[in-house]
Amino acid sequence: MENRKEVLKQLFPEDILNISEGLTDGEVEFLRQLVELLETKYRPVVNQAWVDAEVPEGFFEDIGKLGYYTNPLLFEGREGKKQTSQLFQFFFAFAMSRFDVSLNTLMGVHSGLGFNSFLFGGSPEQVQKYVPKLASHELRTCFALTEPDHGSDVAWGLDTTARREGDKWILNGAKRWIGGASVADLIPVYARDEETNKPKCFIVKAGQEGLDIDVIENKIALRIVPNANIHLKDVVVDESDRLQNINSFKDIAKVLYSTRAGVAFMATGAMAGALQATLKYVTERKQFGKDISNYQLVQEKLAMMQANVTSAMALCSQIARQQENGDYNEIVTSVGKMINALRLRETVAMGRGICGGNGIVVDYDIARFFSDAEAVYTYEGTHEINALVIGRAMTGQSAFN
């Protein structure tokens, strides 16, 4: 690639450790196309979409057409590999989240938790039937685990039930905070087998009798994401639509741990988005006769924001390196999610403060990142839950109850 260093500098100006140099030319070209699409088509509408709590028209289809699972650009030098590189996956999530956290969340639910429910949980026949269509965005999915009365403790309190009657299963219960459920074609619903008390996962299809979905209103964060309540009343699912390899909470944990690094990646991109928005503001805003970027206190906060981004990128690159080698360590991903989400909160607060009163107006971008950081801090294991996972590994003692 000609001018590779210049392209990388333009794509990732916050990457002062040059981590992006580890990307292949094909990956760089793909990411260039992604950023160009986001900036040209969706930059003019993203803030209004956030205010209106609507997914920008065409977004899901456009990202699917890029082929982030199958594009030949992503397999140059990776012939024979079935997955894109972990470093690419980090920079994909980083670029998406730097633009908008909600849009990356939608992608993460579909291509992470939802997709992996089918990939890890399906029989070979189910994987062959569903995974290619999910990868191309021909079909949309989500991840229906969390319940109204159970979030982090869902492993101890899965209330949604499944009762077997011959070759059919009857589902009853409720789910909450299910991102993208209202626009999903396939909903992997996790439920407790009434006979064995063990969890299983069932493919519920949009429009089924007994399925009712309503979108949660009045959110202060991730407004573009249509988080939903799901109500299941005697929903009938064939045994052939039960994901055959999900039969324990250990199987569910495999899906969760496979995606937790993605939340660390997302938090890092969101920090970079806050920094980008703040830098734009300080070079345009004048006070006392000069750009506020000229003031020492402003520059100190900008430096701290950059340092947070840099340390988070370094941690994510190491997580990506380990996962590329097959090491999906739950402690490492919990550290990544816990600390990067915490630093995200700190970073967006500094950016919002620099922007003064305009920092609470969505038109200036930073308010969107400031609000969305609260959701990133909470989901895929709260700060406290991830801390307890790490503490258990350190001490050998479980402090969950």
Strands 186-193 and 161-165: parallel
* Nearest residue to 145 (alpha-carbon basis) of 119, 120, 173, 168: 173
CATH code: domain 15-135 is 1.10.540.10
Bridge partners (DSSP) of residue 200 are 191
Name the residue with tokens 């982090």.
Answer: 152
Element (H, E) at 391: helix 383-395
**Whole-number Å distance between alpha carbons of 268 and 245:** 33
**Whole-number Å distance between alpha carbons of 389 and 377:** 16
Name residues whose C-beta falls within 8 Å of residue 359's C-beta, 6 or more positions apart in sequence. 351, 352, 353, 366, 367, 370
pLDDT at res. 355: 96
The order of strands in the sheet holding 161-165 is 199-205, 186-193, 161-165, 168-179, 227-238, 211-215
**Whole-number Å distance between alpha carbons of 340 and 336:** 6
Instruction: Give φ, ψ of 245 to 5 degrees.
Output: -105, 15
| Domain chopping of the chain, boundaries | 15-135, 154-247, 250-395
Q: Which amino acid makes up residue 69? A: Y
**Whole-number Å distance between alpha carbons of 209 and 32:** 44
For 112-168, the pLDDT digits (tens) are: 999 999 999 999 999 999 999 999 999 999 999 999 987 666 666 689 999 999 999
Which pLDDT tens digits describe the chain residue by residue (401 residues)? 779 999 999 999 999 999 999 999 999 999 999 999 999 999 999 999 999 999 999 999 999 999 999 999 999 988 888 889 999 999 999 999 999 999 999 998 999 999 999 999 999 999 999 999 999 999 999 999 999 987 666 666 689 999 999 999 999 999 999 999 999 999 999 999 999 999 999 999 999 999 999 999 999 999 999 999 999 999 999 999 999 999 998 899 888 877 889 999 999 999 999 999 999 999 999 899 899 999 999 999 999 999 999 999 999 999 999 999 989 888 999 999 999 999 999 999 999 999 999 999 999 999 999 999 999 999 878 899 899 999 999 999 999 87
CATH code: domain 154-247 is 2.40.110.10
What separation in angstroms does the CA of 273 have from each of 11, 47, 224, 277? Answer: 12, 13, 16, 6
* Nearest residue to 36 (alpha-carbon basis) of 47, 24, 28: 28
**Whole-number Å distance between alpha carbons of 106 and 300:** 34
pLDDT at res. 383: 92
For 320-336, the pLDDT digits (tens) are: 999 999 898 889 999 99
**Whole-number Å distance between alpha carbons of 370 and 347:** 9
CATH 2.30.110.20 fits 250-395, yes or no: no
pLDDT at res. 113: 92
Task: Record the pTM.
Answer: 0.94
